[in-house]
Structure 1
Amino acid sequence: IDMNRSQRTVLGGLNMPIDVVQAADGTIWLLEFARFAEDGSCFSGQGYLPNSGRLSYLQPDGTLQTVLVDLNFPGSFAFDRDGHLIVSEIFSGRVLKVTNPALLAPSTSVAKLLGEEIAPMGNETNEEAEVVASLVETAVSAPSAPPDIQFVNVAQQVGLDFQHRAFINAISEDPAAMMGAGLCWIDYNRDGWLDLYLVNSYALAEQEYLYSHGGLPYNRLYQNNQGVFTDVSLISGTALSVRGNGCIAADLNGDGWDDLYVTVDGPNALLWNQGNGTFLEGARLAGVDAPEWNSAASAGDLNGDGYADLFVAAYIDLEKMVENPVGAFPQDFYGLPDHLYLNNCDGTFSPVTEAVGLLREERGLGSLMSDFDNDGDLDLYIANDGHPNRMYLNEPATNSAGFQFVDVSQEAGTNDSGSGMGVAGGDYDNNGRFDLLVTNWDTELNALYRNQMDETGNLTFLYSTFRVGISGLGNNMTGWGTAWADFDHDADEDLLVVNGHVPITDLAADAELVRLYGNRLSEGEPGQLREWTQLVGLGQDGLGPLMARGSAVADYDNDGDLDVAINTVGGTAVLLQNQRLSGNWLQIATADFQPGLKAIVTLPDGRQLVRERHVGSSYLASEDPRLHFGLGNATLVSSVEIIWPNGTITQLTDVAANQTLVVYPK
């Protein structure tokens, strides 16, 4: 795309180009992933030829000069600070260094590239090009220091004895039971300690067995008693016996008490918090029961009236197959229309799905409300399974809702048609804009979208899965719950992804590792990640594989660092306690429910950290309502700017570290 936003062909006939980088001198470098066998296809993922990747640069005459051949499925490359090229290979796990590539590349005029055409489409590059680079390093460099955090599963010792009951007797082909297992953190009694709600399920084929062995399983609410949990499900009225999927905690009627909304294979449930330790179910009366197989839910004030509205993603109808099924799930089943409910401010909701422009029938699994374009209102992102993911911007309208959702998925570059499941939003590169991570199935990679909105408000995302220094971000694992969070308190957000295979044939054999990727921004490597899974106690000799689905990050023990709760299909709940050794922190809490609240923290060295309050994220989950900031060595924050959902701003200066700061709206 040239400066006039016109498309120009630069080079054609390439072998699956996967990354392109422009050097400081203007030279264009190109990385080709692989060639294919005659019957191969990038759509089926079959037929890749190993050791057929190439690294080349574009010469002034429009031809390619190949520098390195026989690369084994290269995924990304970048220049280091010394001007060397670093190339990562996905399946070998190697990182290769090409020394002094600038000496091999004549300067390429950018103006030349903006011409009509440099090389005609279809010209094959030179397979016999001379290899002129020297390969001097074939090992991944070790971290300068190991992370000073460890995760330990403390679920049993703190009283979390939850057992997800799907496939407790035998495995059956029940996709609804295979894909559930959500959870959410909620301070239901407002004592300052986050309680945990875990969603249960069962397979239809097991009903008779379960009835004869104690009855159907039910969701459970665990009260947090200063770090130790007590099951209060029965006395609180939250023990729903449903084929559950996910949940969110949100004050949906503005009474100051967080309620629970539970998505189900069947009518959803809305548990109104009565403020006395009990809940009352009222989804049908509120107009939000949604009778289909529903998955994710998100809440936020979309029309600026001060009350939280509700989005519910719908998945598929197992009774409605496509005309020519091919024996694949979920492709053999039609998707369902999602639901958007506008809060009437009186404990009821009005359906406005079609009125605001949500007209598609797709297989929704993940959702997130976030202000992606920084215009002060909440936008909506939906992760679809086998359909394009959708980015909807919130724009004013004269319809009954007062706003409309405008689909900018294609223009923004976030419309991949993978097996979208979980969604996480965060500013992992500290540029003040919220990026996206979408988890996918094991034959795909997780999708990382870097927000590159320009100063005019034009919203675009750069697909950056191959640009973060990880050889295959999520390869060979099926990702579900995910989060951006500063686990080590070095002032940048790390990446968590929990995994577990689907379809399930064996609960033990299909379990997969929880993976943690440390952010290298504080090491001077912006946009780069390093895998920490083994180093922090999550490897085979630590936590080990799980049949994980939902994950929810929170500081459950109020010690200032972030812990992780995980729900698993057919297994026990996991609570990963973060045993951090260093780093300062700040948490920001609000006196009432404020979805979409933003906070900007300025450190003494001038760096700015931005966080946003999300209600409904990860996979089938909602997380800690407090905004968390790792501060590194800083003991004092220069300033804190609170941007309230109604647009008003609160400014604070010289805020001490290592505290939970409670802020009040003006």
Structure 2
Amino acid sequence: MNLFTQVTRHHRLHSKINTCFCIYLMVCLSLLFLIECKTGQIVPSPSDQSLLVELPSSQTSIEFENKVVQQGENNILNYSYYFNGGGVAVFDIDQDGLQDIYFTGNAVQNKLYLNKGNMQFEDITASAGVSCPEGWKTGVTIGDVNQDGWLDFYVCRSAMGDSTLRRNLLHINNKDRTFSERGAEYGLDDPGYSTQAAFFDYDQDGDLDMFLLNHSLPAYTRFNNLKAYLETKGKDYASKLYRNDHGKYKGGPGKRGKPTCPELGVWLSLTLTRMVLDLLANDFNEQDYLYINTQNGRFKNVIKEATGHTSLFSMGSDIADINNDLLPDIITLDMMPHSNERIKLATGDDNYDKNEVLDRVGLHHQTMRNMLQLNNGDGTFSEIGQLAGVSNTDWSWASLFADFDGDGYKDLYVSNGYEKDFTNMQFLKFTVDAKIKSQQTGVAPDMNLILNNIPSIEEGNFLFKNNGRSGPDSTGQAALSFSDFTQTWGAARKFKSNGAAYADLDNDGDPDLVINAMNQKSFIYKNNAVEQKTANFLRIDLASNNPGLPIEGTQVKCFTRDMTQLYEFSPCRGFQSSMYGPISIGVGTDLIIDSVKVIWPDHQYQMYHNIPVQTMITPAYKDAIPTLTVPTPSLSLFSPHPVLNWSHHPAQVNDFKQQLLLPRMYSYSGPKMKSTDVNKDGLQDLFICGPAGQSSSLFIQNMQGGFKPSNVALFESDKASQDENACFFDADMDGDMDLYVVSGAYLTTLPDQFQDRLYLNDGKGNFTKAPNNIPKETYCGAVAVPLDVDGDGDTDLFIGNRMLPGQYPMAPPSQFLINDGQGVFTNQIASVADDLEHAGMITDALAMDLNKDGAMDLIVVGEWMSIKIMINEHGKLVDKSRDWLGENTSGWWNVITGEDYDQDGDIDLIVGNAGDNNQFKVSADHPITLVYKDFDGNGQVDPFLSYFIDGISYPYASRDEALGQVGFLRNRFLDYNSYATATLKDIFTPDELRDTTTLKAQILSTLYLENKGSSFVRKPLPIQAQFAPVYTLVSEDLDQDGDLDIILAGNETKVRVRMGRADANKGFVFLNDGRGNFSYLPQSVSGLNLKDDTRQLLFIKLEGQSVLMVGQNDKSILSYILGTLHH
């Protein structure tokens, strides 16, 4: 029987092979991919006995197999969800205290297994009446729908063209191990294309309402009519909110059913702003949704406000507190592989313009990888999946957070695999070739041949151990990292699976795993944590003493000697699955739990104290007491305080069109800001650097704390230049602050636009340009640092230059401008600091007397550079980097600042870098490298970036990108398979590589370097310092304790599409204890939410108060007033 004939007819899913070729080629090449590597911070060691043991069907009697085969029109090309698989439900159907198992099968009958104890199960499907023989079954959800104290379940159906075979099924428990299907009676026999449902009491009237997650039928659209396509509606696509009115469900209008939003995951949480929160994970071009219950019967989508970006092809999701800060964090799964070969076979070209189209039609930023959203406690999340080591698990489905080893931190299980990978680039090439041949011969291709050429993905599932506090961050907070313990814990067998659930099947306290496999028997992983006596558990049974009570959304907080944990009761987890049993809480080796707080959905609560481990708590709602709510004023350290109306407006250009293989764009670099008193009135004034086409601006502060523009015409005359940086100093020794402006840009080709400028001050804040006082130059600059290098009493200038326009990563020479005492400068770098003339792509520099000899030294940082310590020896700067820092300090350094943070009388350093939340896990032995030259002789530099995956360095560029950059490679790599395993030495011949230049980066972490008198040692910063690139740092005593604290900001959003936005830094405050030990101040306390590309932080005094000025690329200037920190 053709399952999908009517689907094909009614929804125009193309069955003719030539149309399928175009659809799937264009979809897969149009959608935008991103890569990252799978790593962990802890190397697992094998154990004598695995934590998990796969139980054979001969022991469990579980014989269910979700067998899905392609036959005729029933195939992946006609129905994109053909191999999405089935779900799992684990719940106690007969109240015997044992968790039973229900599997959904797509085209096969569902199965119900009765738990008989000792991991033995009996198939009672037939007698229970729950086989659901017809239709295409997807997700399953548990809930006490009729509130009789017995658990019912709801089965979703999809795919079928006949809507009667899509109607969802509600199985009401008859209390005798049988069920009656009563979906139509309750009003829940929805005929849409359903994936999963979630029961919860959204209107708090005491009964279970339901959210139904429907999906649309994906279809191809060209980008030029994407906006109209997104506005298309379909009643059977729409997700719906059903309200329970006295046992009869009425479906609300739901979200409009849009053809590009096949939704695949749903999760409920009560914690965010203490209201119900729904996470809806979407597939294909559409964005994810994060709905907040506004408690008036409506929901508000806050995904853009709450997150910087999301997964592109979101599948399963889960929410749990991964770092024990009592805040729920979110994971969504995607399709990014972890091996180089799979990455290359999943990656086409990197089309930034198409990504911009998605942004313009209003979709949220998306990248193809798993996303781990860390809750900041202020309604926002920082995405740290790559930092945590869980971003790359291939084509993934169920994500389940559970404490499998019982150490008090939630681990992560990921199911994955796909029967037919129709996005494989080699397969897409095969279809194109077949189509061309068909057009030439007039003979239609063989459909069976096409289908047989689609490869399968069977990489194995993943089991990640939460490292707790065991990671590199020794500041006392959780490490926010996971290690791959799949093999160590006994889950290494490779198979394809979809739905999964965990539950304590043998009542020993630890969570076991149930897996719904594809085209093989489903099975159970038994957890041996209790048997191995490595951990203790506490169980919380919320249901048994509360028959009929909607307990969905109940929170449990567990407090032990040195740990706090949050659990939420939400049956829908992972993918198409549900679990409704006691909560298992691991507490490590503790024997007594200090206290447990149970918070019911209406916020009433009850407390338990001094609880022995390996026991069960059965709370009764009737014993709960109301929560006392005491209004508390906002105690944020910073509060918004607008003082200036100025916005940064850079030209909207695409640097990747100039150099295809750039790692990121370089045209979006500002705005930098500098402050000083230019008119000697005792008030700080402000200079802001403008991009090309927008003049820089000088603002004079008045006595009322306001600002007035000054010297407008002067700076307007120079607006053709892009001003990268500036500095105030007394150039002509007349006692006032003059201004030096550094110009530069990546795409500019007009030499005059690179000329730096010196403006002389008349002492009253009136400036005059002095073009003859500085050398003529045409360099793209980055920084100007005043210092008296020769000790003659006047101020000289170091000018650090960045790059040659359009020739990344080639760098121009830097300059050292020596002052003649009259404000006239000449470049004498060859005699003053010859090691700096060709140092590389300089980004920042800091002048200081490092060795306390009375002479000013200089520290210089840059991209692909080692940190350079230049010690002043009789007016000449000598490179002493090795003495002070040792070897292997090359990085992607952006900024440097120095203060005496530990109050020992010398200057310590903080150096901003790219951070560790990216695909590149680097070290001295495994650096990122950049090999470049003009390989094909076309006058353009060809930069090839490589990084290590599984111990081998591979090029980052996909085959399409490599061939697009260097044309002669087309004859070497005729297909994707040949390129998929190629290293740079395989791509180019020895002769072609002989005269290349190689750059490397061995450190990407932002560093705190403590000065020990004659050398620096690294000290840890809070892990938040590594969330994103750090571009600006500011030191200030924020809590009035006499110690200098720091604020770090940055982010990088103008990047390669496959790399994705690095936007997890919200402006992080680190408090100093006076000894150089820093602690993170949560965003909910700091009050900062800097979610864009921040390029400058600067404190100024306004009417006696400290105000933080924030410069962000392509945004308005922000300002925050510094308040008092309430401990």
Q: Counterpart of 2:574?
A: 618
CA distance, structure 1, for counterparts of residue 50 and residue 597 of structure 2: 29
Q: Which has the higher helix share?
A: 2
**Aligned alpha-carbon RMSD (Å):** 2.8
- The Cα shift of 1:649 comes to 0.7
1:634-649 equivalence runs, <5 A? 634-649=590-605
Larger Rg: 2
CA contact (8 A) 2:292 2:301 kept: yes
CA contact (8 A) 1:390 1:415 kept: no
Q: Counterpart of 2:461?
A: 514
Unaligned runs of 5+ in 2: 1-28, 159-165, 337-345, 347-367, 422-450, 472-477, 623-1127
CA distance, structure 1, for counterparts of residue 455 and residue 257 of structure 2: 37
- The Cα shift of 1:342 comes to 1.0
1:33-182 equivalence runs, <5 A? 44-45=32-33, 90=37, 142-143=43-44, 149-156=50-57, 157-167=59-69, 172-173=75-76, 174-182=79-87
CA contact (8 A) 1:253 1:345 kept: no
The alignment's TM-score, normalised by the length of structure 2, stands at: 0.42
CA distance, structure 1, for counterparts of residue 397 and residue 268 of structure 2: 18
1:365-376 equivalence runs, <5 A? 365-375=264-274
Distance change >3 Å, CA 150–CA 509, structure 1 → 2: farther
CA distance, structure 2, for counterparts of residue 653 and residue 307 of structure 1: 31
1:363 and 2:262 equivalent? yes
Q: Counterpart of 1:54?
A: none
Q: Counterpart of 1:251?
A: 144
1:229 and 2:121 equivalent? yes
CA distance, structure 1, for counterparts of residue 410 and residue 47 of structure 2: 17
Q: Counterpart of 2:315?
A: 421
CA distance, structure 2, for counterparts of residue 563 and residue 225 of structure 1: 16
Aligned mate of 2:406, from 476, 489, 504: 489
Q: Counterpart of 1:434?
A: 328
Q: Report the secondary structure of 2:587's partner residue.
A: strand
Tell me the alpha carbon deviations over residues 131-187 of structure 1, each in whole angstroms, 9 at most, x when there is no partner: xxxxxxxxx663589697522221401111112122188983343431131111121
Q: Counterpart of 1:120?
A: none
Task: Between 624-633 and 221-230, report the one with greater CA deviation.
Answer: 624-633
CA distance, structure 1, for counterparts of residue 315 and residue 279 of structure 2: 12
User: Match for 1:178: what amino acid?
Assistant: F
User: Match for 1:449: what amino acid?
Assistant: Q
User: Match for 1:220: what amino acid?
Assistant: K
Q: Counterpart of 1:190?
A: 95
1:325-344 equivalence runs, <5 A? 336-344=237-245
CA contact (8 A) 1:316 1:334 kept: no
CA distance, structure 2, for counterparts of residue 489 and residue 641 of structure 1: 19
Q: Report the secondary structure of 2:185's partner residue.
A: helix
Q: Report the secondary structure of 2:408's partner residue.
A: coil
* Bigger RCO of structures 1 and 2 (CA < 8 A, at least 6 apart): 1
User: Match for 2:279: what amino acid?
Assistant: Y
CA contact (8 A) 1:181 1:550 kept: yes
User: Match for 1:486: what amino acid?
Assistant: D
User: Match for 1:222: what amino acid?
Assistant: Y
CA distance, structure 2, for counterparts of residue 197 and residue 164 of structure 1: 12
Tell me the alpha carbon deviations over residues 85-118 of structure 1, each in whole angstroms, 9 at most, x when there is no partner: xxxxx27x6x9xxxxxxxxxxxxxxxxxxxxxxx
User: Match for 1:501: what amino acid?
Assistant: Y
Q: Report the secondary structure of 2:82's partner residue.
A: helix
Q: Counterpart of 1:385?
A: 283
Q: Counterpart of 2:1111?
A: none
Q: Counterpart of 2:110?
A: 219
1:593-608 equivalence runs, <5 A? 593-605=550-562, 607-608=563-564
- The Cα shift of 1:374 comes to 4.0
CA distance, structure 2, for counterparts of residue 479 and residue 177 of structure 1: 15
- The Cα shift of 1:359 comes to 4.1
Aligned mate of 1:535, from 475, 488, 499: 488
CA contact (8 A) 2:598 2:605 kept: yes
CA contact (8 A) 2:555 2:569 kept: yes
Q: Counterpart of 2:514?
A: 565
Q: Report the secondary structure of 1:366's partner residue.
A: strand
Q: Counterpart of 2:376?
A: 452
CA distance, structure 1, for counterparts of residue 46 and residue 537 of structure 2: 20
Aligned mate of 1:201, from 99, 106, 120: 106
Q: Counterpart of 2:215?
A: 315
CA contact (8 A) 2:167 2:190 kept: yes
1:548 and 2:497 equivalent? yes
1:579 and 2:524 equivalent? no
- The Cα shift of 1:278 comes to 1.1
Distance change >3 Å, CA 492–CA 603, structure 1 → 2: same
- The Cα shift of 1:595 comes to 0.9
CA distance, structure 2, for counterparts of residue 571 and residue 343 of structure 1: 39
Distance change >3 Å, CA 449–CA 164, structure 1 → 2: same
CA distance, structure 1, for counterparts of residue 45 and residue 523 of structure 2: 30
Q: Report the secondary structure of 1:175's partner residue.
A: coil
User: Match for 1:493: what amino acid?
Assistant: K
Q: Counterpart of 1:268?
A: 168
Tell me the alpha carbon deviations over residues 534-584 of structure 1, each in whole angstroms, 9 at most, x when there is no partner: 111122xxxx22211101011111111111111122221121111222100
- The Cα shift of 1:502 comes to 5.6
CA distance, structure 2, for counterparts of residue 383 and residue 533 of structure 1: 26
CA distance, structure 2, for counterparts of residue 193 and residue 155 of structure 1: 20
CA distance, structure 2, for counterparts of residue 414 and residue 262 of structure 1: 34
Q: Counterpart of 2:249?
A: 349
Tell me the alpha carbon deviations over residues 615-662 of structure 1, each in whole angstroms, 9 at most, x when there is no partner: 212100012432221010111111111101122111111111112221
CA contact (8 A) 1:439 1:447 kept: yes
User: Match for 2:188: what amino acid?
Assistant: V
CA contact (8 A) 1:584 1:657 kept: yes
CA distance, structure 1, for counterparts of residue 496 and residue 312 of structure 2: 21
1:627-666 equivalence runs, <5 A? 627-666=583-622
- The Cα shift of 1:496 comes to 0.8
User: Match for 1:343: what amino acid?
Assistant: N
Distance change >3 Å, CA 200–CA 560, structure 1 → 2: same
Distance change >3 Å, CA 417–CA 499, structure 1 → 2: closer
Identity %: 24
CA contact (8 A) 2:44 2:488 kept: no
Distance change >3 Å, CA 334–CA 464, structure 1 → 2: farther
Aligned mate of 1:306, from 199, 203, 206: 206
Q: Report the secondary structure of 1:645's partner residue.
A: coil
Q: Counterpart of 1:49?
A: none
1:523 and 2:470 equivalent? yes
Distance change >3 Å, CA 414–CA 617, structure 1 → 2: farther
CA distance, structure 1, for counterparts of residue 220 and residue 189 of structure 2: 26
The alignment's TM-score, normalised by the length of structure 1, stands at: 0.70
User: Match for 1:164: what amino acid?
Assistant: N
Q: Report the secondary structure of 2:148's partner residue.
A: coil
Q: How many residues align?
A: 498
Tell me the alpha carbon deviations over residues 197-247 of structure 1, each in whole angstroms, 9 at most, x when there is no partner: 100122xxxxxxxxxxxxxx3111100011310011111111111310010
Q: Report the secondary structure of 1:658's partner residue.
A: coil
CA distance, structure 2, for counterparts of residue 44 and residue 491 of structure 1: 38
- The Cα shift of 1:345 comes to 3.1
Q: Report the secondary structure of 1:234's partner residue.
A: helix
- The Cα shift of 1:414 comes to 6.3
Q: Report the secondary structure of 1:609's partner residue.
A: strand
User: Match for 2:537: what amino acid?
Assistant: W
